[in-house]
């Protein structure tokens, strides 16, 4: 199969992969599975409580992975789920969970903030604008993509 891609896309894919590995390394050093770290990150960023659907949306994890991680975190008394009206579920950190989230995801959030604070504000804004533009264009491509399920 011949798949020709631009050097820019190769570079982007390399950077995306290396960034993912850096997060994975941080999660390991903090003693957390990637999925658990992502959930704690979203909860901490949301003030310790958010809708389950927001965890799905903001973590980028699939529902099965999230549900497995939530069961483990709930069994460890890190968080609990409650109904929030209708079929909506609210995920809330326990006191133990707040301490764990601060000690783990809080360190990652602080590191990310330090990086942005070290950049010129114009660079931060440009980076965010370009990242958003890429994400929106990619979502548009995904919506228009037809499935090809041939073996």
What's residue 146's pLDDT?
83
Q: Which positions of the chain have pLDDT values less than 70?
A: 1, 148-151
What's residue 134's pLDDT?
97
- CA pair distance 101, 90, nearest whole angstrom: 17
What's residue 36's pLDDT?
97
- CA pair distance 118, 112, nearest whole angstrom: 10
What's residue 3's pLDDT?
83
What's residue 106's pLDDT?
97
CB 35 within 8 A of CB 68: yes
């Amino acid at each position: 199969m011949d798949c020709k891609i631009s050097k820019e896309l190769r570079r982007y894919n390399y950077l995306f992969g290396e960034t993912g590995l850096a997060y994975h390394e941080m999660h390991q050093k903090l003693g957390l599975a990637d999925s658990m770290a992502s959930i704690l990150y979203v909860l901490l960023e949301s003030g310790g409580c958010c809708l389950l659907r927001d965890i799905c949306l903001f973590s980028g994890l699939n529902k099965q992975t999230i549900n497995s991680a939530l069961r483990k975190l709930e069994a460890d008394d890190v968080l609990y789920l409650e109904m929030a009206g209708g079929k909506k579920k609210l995920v809330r950190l326990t006191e133990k969970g707040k301490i764990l989230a601060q000690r783990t995801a809080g360190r990652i959030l602080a590191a990310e903030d330090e990086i942005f604070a070290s950049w010129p504000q114009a660079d931060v804004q440009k980076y965010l604008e370009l990242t958003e533009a890429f994400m929106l264009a990619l979502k548009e491509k995904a919506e228009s993509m037809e499935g090809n399920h041939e073996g």
